[in-house]
């Protein structure tokens, strides 16, 4: 599939969850909420930006978030440092510290590689991992919504 650079650079989607808080409680990387998946047009070599804005609860466990490309329902590559099944720290700006209410904010970037695309699109999924199987909350309600956005920045400029 071929399309002009300006069109790729405008492909974007976002979602907002306000229907109830989201919880996670596993020491392995797993899906945070499949309803938050985003799919946008992309080609090999395009740079994708994903941003998350939310708030972690103060439960006594460290947790992390990362975003992966998804093909046929399975994770392919991660933006941050996630390594299946249970290592890596994910995206640093999305870390939830033990015992503290903490903000999740900021973008992460990734360059599309072979194997990330399905029918000219990349599907993106938030994944989570905690230090132990202790429940951790990400607020996703009317007062503290969970936002997720994805944007295709197009190919990187040559150096």
Which domains can be identified in the chain, with CATH numbers? 10-153 (2.60.120.1340)
More confident site: 86 or 62: 62
For residue 51, the number of C-alpha atoms closer than 13 Å in the C-beta half-sphere is 13
Name the pTM for this structure: 0.91
In the predicted model, is pLDDT for residue 8 greater than 70? Answer: no
Is 7's pLDDT higher than 70? no
Tell me, letter by letter, the H, E, C secondary structure of 113-140. Answer: CCCCCECCEEEEEEEEEECCCCCEEEEC
What pLDDT does residue 156 have? 79
- Three-state SS annotation for 45-78: CEEEEEEEEEEECCCCCCEEEEEEEEECCEEEEE
Backbone angles phi, psi at 29, to 5 degrees: -65, 135
User: Per residue in 71-102, pLDDT tens?
Assistant: 999 999 999 988 888 888 999 999 999 999 99
Residue 49: its pLDDT value, please? 97
């Amino acid at each position: 599939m071929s399309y002009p650079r300006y069109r790729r650079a405008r492909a974007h989607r976002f979602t907002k969850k306000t229907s109830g808080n989201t919880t996670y409680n596993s020491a392995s990387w797993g899906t945070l909420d499949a309803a938050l998946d985003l799919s946008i047009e992309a080609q090999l070599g395009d740079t994708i930006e994903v941003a998350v804005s939310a708030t972690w609860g103060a439960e006594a466990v460290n947790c992390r978030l990362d975003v992966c490309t998804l093909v046929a329902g399975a994770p392919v590559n991660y933006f941050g440092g996630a390594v299946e099944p249970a290592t890596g720290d994910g995206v640093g700006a999305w870390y939830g510290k033990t015992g503290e209410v903490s903000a999740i904010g900021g973008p992460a970037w990734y360059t599309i590689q072979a194997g990330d695309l399905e029918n000219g699109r990349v599907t993106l999924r938030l994944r989570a991992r905690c230090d132990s199987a202790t429940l951790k909350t990400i607020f996703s309600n009317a007062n503290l919504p969970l936002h997720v956005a994805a944007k295709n920045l197009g190919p990187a400029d040559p150096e």
